[in-house]
Structure 1
């Protein structure tokens, strides 16, 4: 007997996107050096309330004492966190850090760019999907094969080889230009990485971020941090994760002649190690 077909449109929220970052800059006026502008508040309020806030990171320039700058970066971080909470965002699981002037002397950024707060987040994709009631469900598609060396076989061989100390893999984790957001084509690789970390609890991972074109240590580290925070959001212990940035010092493709060359250099590389014992 042929079944009738039922058409429904269902709105749903998913979080298949990679992390992104909003940056908010602060003035130098000593009486108002940790308050966001109304324009910045509006930028935050434009996010969906279901947005996952992964981290709120406060920064400061190097003027003043180290203790003063650490406290000022904390005030900036707490100001942004409080604004998010008061406007209905869930910040209960966010990583909140006051970094003081830790980047100011090594990042190559201007003083104005150092006086900021970074908000790392995953914004939901709200979609409408047409659901049909049909006689027979089609078979699931074959899983796509990784385009790189991120394979279960390579991981298993590494874990079983008692002499192997590290396994370095150049992932297909590529990023939007001047952003910590992964390209659409790289999102499946994020979840392959998550699956490997979930299934192999003895694995640790260090993420190495890279940029194209010109020096940008902060952005390269931000990309590596974004991958680590993505895994933490899905339950991977932060004790198993670390990250660092290499600016544009280790390009995969050189010279950068085409847009594709530059795209390949906006990447994150992972180095796996094994837990002691």
Structure 2
């Protein structure tokens, strides 16, 4: 399989780098394409928007002064250059020059009055997809088993409110993505408070309900969700808390894994 992939990559590389050419013809002593070639060039431009033009060389027949023919061939190359530019073909890195009589070998001199553009298909770039970012919360939930409880990190609310602080909304969307990526996951959302033994306004239940409503309103089947509150009956640290860190740890919303 590895050898087959290498052969395919080599084939694509050769194909992408194969140089092709297109020729534009001019009448005697004229630096604008004759009518048939002008039409062909216009059609070529419309059909080759995705190619990489590498160079444009202009030529002249052997009639007349060699120095004049250099100038004439340069003008022919420039004519093609400008037509490509007008047609929105990328010409930023094109090599453009006149080569005079250097290819004036044809029995039919009309075939020497030309400009040749060399092009290739743009290289095929096989991009490696970035590895998906696995967050700490996603890792904990993926590795959890039925009955495990996981505190939702960085989830904070306005004081004595069930309104989520703006800086905490990303973790809700993170939890939403986890639920969508794990269709068998069922959770119970559990609210807790800090600092008081008796809850007076059911704030822990309202906060658990806020998370439940956010997930349900964003497409998660309510059959995969439940919620409840415990007030301050299950603190991480005993009441009264000694530090602000202990208060934050107690004032939390957890999810319990019901099915994973």
* TM-score bracket relative to the smaller structure: 0.3 to 0.5
| Between structures 1 and 2, the one with greater strand share | 1
Q: What is the TM-score of this pair, normalised by structure 1? A: 0.41
Q: What is the TM-score of this pair, normalised by structure 2? A: 0.43
| Between structures 1 and 2, the one with greater helix share | 2
